[in-house]
Structure 1
């Protein structure tokens, strides 16, 4: 009943009691530290203590109230919040299996291709819901494996959207001041407006980078890899376009799901936002089979002319926007 009424407002003394004086730390990110907590009724929660926020208390509460009304199977539910002077906290449902990151980069293959496909679909449904299913369009701006959490059934849930800005659904383009993200996933237009306007397509780009990492089980930029494989998206595109039989990951041959995830990902990471599909179209592609999926045009950073030096200059420019 309490969850149905929206997020609960907790006093700071409640937060210290729920976390047993911040005893069990789950992790730390750009927004603050996360602790495990226990509500009455033996309900486990994750409590994020936020670093000092620029917004005032009323703005914070208004935004939290809007986000608290979101209810989707692939979005982490906001249970409550705390706002006392400069002390701010967000109380989320607890995800026992942690983040997707530790599974896809594990030396052992954690998931079957069918399970990876289900996880990719779940993430896409969650993002599409944030973009189109709410009264206000919610843009995440930081889609990456670390921000995808897994529940007891390994159902993926999008997390860390709590401080993403809310925009009217008809407001397609955003001010540059909205830009944020993580190097390796941040869309080009977040760095330079010469690529296009910041919009929901920025999340599509980040999702494409996430898909590539899920398919290959390796990070998109790997300094340890051979020169030809340093920038993974470029290597994937060259492999697919040459129709090589060898797998994109370490596998002997490329699996149908692996190929599908990679082709969809390459559509998502087109350099110009207008060339990327909307999240609803991405979802349609993932739900369909590999048949009929065409390899997209070559993004300009792919191909034999790709040079690590060029990549480093882009990364240095991007780093000014990273957390």
Structure 2
């Protein structure tokens, strides 16, 4: 029913034999995840592509429908392009523009290579964070329907030749009318560590576009620290909750100790990124800035930023890491 209603006027629909030909019978595997596998390919017009073969699909194929119906209709510099799809029998494939530099998480959490150090230079981090924020702003405000992503995280940010960030993976996305920002979900969706508190419990507030702001804030804190944030709900309190460590450093006006020497202007960029991110992860959604405000904060002066309230519940068992 979806495919019939979707029609042929939008994203190109490919046959499975065309997908096999484009990937040379799935010869070059780029990666694998819970959704299935991704292969490098090339369309008949010579355009390089990444082909995601969906496996282990649950329910009625809603994640596949979400991806095609949302990303298939939109074009933005900071959102990955969906060039086509395949739905033939039980086979489902999504065909994207190929991102030569892979995903952001492979650079954030690997400090050894020169390219990682170059990418994680403070000004480059600011460029990437601003690009992601512009992509989210477009999803929230630039489309006919508001698109809430619900899975913003480094793994879902792809990078092109120029390290321009592009938001990908819309399998958990939800559409709502532009005049509405509050949505109703039957279950939490997203990835542990990036899920806003209100998706765990309505006691924290209502689910809205501010839920993506929270995930964005966690992503930026990981860029700043170069470390994965530990979930605040963890039972093992010996694990470090990175947002708490960053908050204490910023609040005491101490420099964040990164993996490279920094000039004063670079230290200020890192401090600005950290303060903006700490505003974004406020547990009360009403205290988080909307994404246009986030962009203003990122492009504005550090002097104009105020320190946010403590954005988490402190636990005496959380330890300060040796970094």
Give the shorter-chain TM-score range.
0.7 to 0.9
Equivalent residue in structure 2 for 1:199, among 208, 212, 216: 208
Match of 2:130 in 1: 121
Q: Match of 1:170?
A: 179
- Residue segments in structure 1 that go unaligned for 5+ positions in a row: 310-323
Out of 9, 14, 20, the residue aligned to residue 10 of structure 1 is: 14
1:307 aligns with 2:317: yes
Q: Is the 8 A contact 2:70 2:170 kept in 1?
A: no
User: What SS does the corresponding residue of 2:181 show, helix, strand or coil?
Assistant: coil
Is 1:84 aligned with 2:88? yes
Instruction: Return the alpha-carbon distance in structure 2 between the equivalents of residues 10 and 49 of structure 1.
Output: 13
Q: Tell me the CA shift for residue 37 of structure 1.
A: 1.0
Alpha-carbon offset, residue 232 of structure 1: 0.9
Q: Do the aligned residues in 1 keep the contact of 2:67 with 2:170 (CA within 8 Å)?
A: no
Q: Does 1:239 align with 2:249?
A: yes
- State the distance in 2 between where 1:159 and 1:211 align: 17
More displaced stretch, 48-57 vs 143-152: 48-57
Whether 1:30 aligns to 2:34 is yes
TM-fit CA distance, 1:56: 5.6
TM-score (norm 1): 0.85
Question: Residues 209, 306 of structure 1: CA spacing in aligned structure 2 closer, same or farther, 3 A cutoff?
Answer: farther
Pair 1:256-2:232 in alignment: no
Pair 1:228–1:178, CA change in 2 (3 A): closer
C-alpha distance in structure 2 between counterparts of 1:308 and 1:208, whole Å: 20
| Preserved contact between residue 229 and residue 235 of structure 1 (Cα < 8 Å) | no
- 1: CA distance between counterparts of 2:161 and 2:83? 18
Structure 1 equivalent of residue 303 of structure 2? 291
CA distance in 2, matches of 1:123, 1:300: 24
Instruction: Give the whole-Å Cα distance in 1 for the aligned partners of 2:36 and 2:313.
Output: 34
Contact conserved, 1:99 with 1:147, CA < 8 A, in 2? yes
**Which whole-Å deviations, capped at 9, do the CAs of 1:115-174 have from their partners, x for residues lacking one?**
111111101000111111101111111111111110011111011125512221223222
Residue 69 of structure 1 corresponds to which residue in structure 2? 73
Return 61-70 or 89-98, whichever deviates more. Answer: 61-70
8 Å Cα contact 2:194-2:215 kept in structure 1? yes
TM-score norm. by structure 2 comes to: 0.85
The answer to whether the aligner puts 1:54 opposite 2:59 as a matched pair is yes
Name the SS of the counterpart of 2:186 in structure 1.
helix
Partners of 1:166 and 1:211 lie apart in 2 by 25
Question: Which deviations, in whole Å up to 9, do the C-alpha atoms of 1:43-101 show, x marking residues without a partner?
Answer: 110111113242369x9568624431200000000000111232211110000100111
SS at match of 2:207: coil
Q: Is contact 2:149-2:212 (8 Å) kept?
A: yes
Q: What is the DSSP-based 3-state SS (H/G/I as helix, E as strand, rest coil) of the residue aligned with 1:258? A: helix
Contact 2:213 2:290 in 1 (8 A): yes
Gaps of 5+ in 2: 1-8, 232-236
**Are the counterparts in 2 of residues 61 and 83 from structure 1 also a CA contact under 8 Å?**
no
- 8 Å CA contact 1:105–1:217 kept in 2: the answer is yes
Deviation at 1:229, TM superposition (A): 7.9
1:32 shift after superposition: 1.9
Q: RMSD of the alignment, in Å? A: 2.3
Moved more, 99-108 or 200-209: 99-108
In the alignment of these two chains, the number of paired residues is 297
